[in-house]
């Protein structure tokens, strides 16, 4: 098989790339990385010394591709399918890239801060940093609610890289920092994302790992019933 994706099934940034792969039915092999296992970690570090996942390796081209947005653009360039996750028009493409970065930086990153803080020792926690992360999420929610008020997907009628980023980010964000009651456009957008087959498949595959999610106690039971 030409492509191997190094990942962890519970990681939201890995979900972003999985959604892109499933959207275009691209064949690949998944290699789960356990950073607590020296052998598994060494395998990843050999490919990408930064040690972050996901990482894609293209065996045909003997090329390693890190970083979620770059992976998705690489897939569109070399393994195109029916769903163009980067729109053709220059302005539309810039808009998709903008909201892709928005969801990574202002939704997924703050969620990671909140989640990792929960599993730290009591004397190593960062309440100020967590409070700042929650404020960032509040701002991101309000901006997203306004953005999707008149659109079906993040940047219009086309499902794009921005939606690949939004789906896992907002899924986990809704658990650790619930949306405001008045944010109906945001809530409806997330429901549309959850109905997308590529998203449902990704979350269904992650479900066996939900038990180790640090905020499992706050996870709505309906998420445990998602089927691809």
Co-location of 100 and 206 in the same domain: yes
Co-location of 13 and 113 in the same domain: no
Model confidence at 39: pLDDT above 90: no
Co-location of 128 and 44 in the same domain: no
**Does any domain span residue 84?**
no
| pLDDT for res 173 | 98
Q: Which residues on adjacent β-strands are paired with residue 7?
A: 32
- For residue 12, give the CATH number of its domain: 3.40.30.10
Co-location of 62 and 122 in the same domain: no
Co-location of 109 and 135 in the same domain: yes
Co-location of 67 and 117 in the same domain: no
Mean per-residue pLDDT of the chain: 95
- For residue 136, give the CATH number of its domain: 1.20.1050.10
Number of domains in the chain: 2
Residue 38: which pLDDT band, with cuts at 50, 70 and 90?
A: confident
Final residue of a structural domain among 78, 110, 137: 78
| pLDDT for res 111 | 98
Q: Which residues on adjacent β-strands are paired with residue 98?
A: none
Final residue of a structural domain among 78, 107, 133: 78
Q: Would you tell me how many other CB atoms lie within 10 Å of the CB of residue 198?
A: 23
Co-location of 50 and 130 in the same domain: no
| pLDDT for res 120 | 93
Residue 177: which pLDDT band, with cuts at 50, 70 and 90?
A: very high
Residue 1: which pLDDT band, with cuts at 50, 70 and 90?
A: confident
Model confidence at 222: pLDDT above 90: no
| pLDDT for res 35 | 81
Co-location of 46 and 113 in the same domain: no
Model confidence at 49: pLDDT above 90: yes
**Cα gap 82→164, rounded to integer Å:** 15
Residue 67: which pLDDT band, with cuts at 50, 70 and 90?
A: very high
Co-location of 103 and 160 in the same domain: yes
For residue 9, report the phi and psi dihedrals to the nearest 5 degrees.
-65, -15
Q: The domain containing residue 153 runs over which residues?
A: 90-225
Instruction: List strands edge to edge, sheet with 29-32.
Output: 29-32, 3-7, 55-58, 63-66
Model confidence at 226: pLDDT above 90: no
Co-location of 72 and 96 in the same domain: no
| pLDDT for res 36 | 82
Final residue of a structural domain among 58, 78, 98: 78
Using alpha carbons, select from 171, 170, 50 the residue that is nearest to residue 99. 170
| pLDDT for res 215 | 95
pLDDT digit string, tens, across residues 92-143: 999 999 999 999 999 999 999 999 999 999 999 999 999 999 999 999 999 9
**Does any domain span residue 83?**
no
CB of 164 within 8 A of CB of 16? yes
| pLDDT for res 224 | 79
Specify burial of residue 211 (Cβ count, 10 A radius: 0-12, 13-18, 19+).
exposed
Co-location of 108 and 72 in the same domain: no
């Amino acid at each position: 098989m030409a492509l191997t994706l190094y990942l962890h099934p519970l990681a939201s940034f890995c979900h972003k790339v999985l959604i892109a792969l499933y959207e275009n039915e691209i064949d690949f092999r998944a290699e789960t990385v356990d950073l607590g296992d020296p052998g598994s970690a060494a395998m990843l570090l050999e490919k990408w010394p930064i040690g972050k996942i996901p990482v894609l390796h293209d065996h045909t081209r003997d090329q390693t591709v890190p970083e979620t947005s770059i992976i998705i653009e690489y897939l569109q360039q070399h393994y195109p399918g029916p769903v163009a996750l980067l729109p053709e028009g220059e302005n539309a493409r810039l808009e998709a890239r903008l909201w892709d970065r928005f969801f990574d930086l202002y939704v997924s990153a703050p969620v990671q801060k909140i989640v990792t803080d929960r599993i730290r020792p009591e004397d190593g926690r960062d309440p100020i940093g967590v409070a700042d992360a929650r404020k960032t999420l509040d701002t991101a929610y309000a901006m997203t609610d306004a953005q999707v008020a008149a659109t079906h997907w993040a940047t219009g009628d086309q499902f794009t890289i921005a939606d690949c980023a939004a789906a896992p980010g907002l899924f986990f964000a809704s658990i650790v920092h619930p949306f405001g009651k008045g944010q109906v456009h945001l809530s409806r957008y997330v429901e549309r994302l959850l109905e997308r087959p590529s998203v449902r498949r990704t979350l269904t595959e992650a479900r066996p790992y939900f038990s180790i999610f640090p905020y499992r106690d706050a996870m709505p039971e309906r998420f445990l019933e998602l089927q691809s």
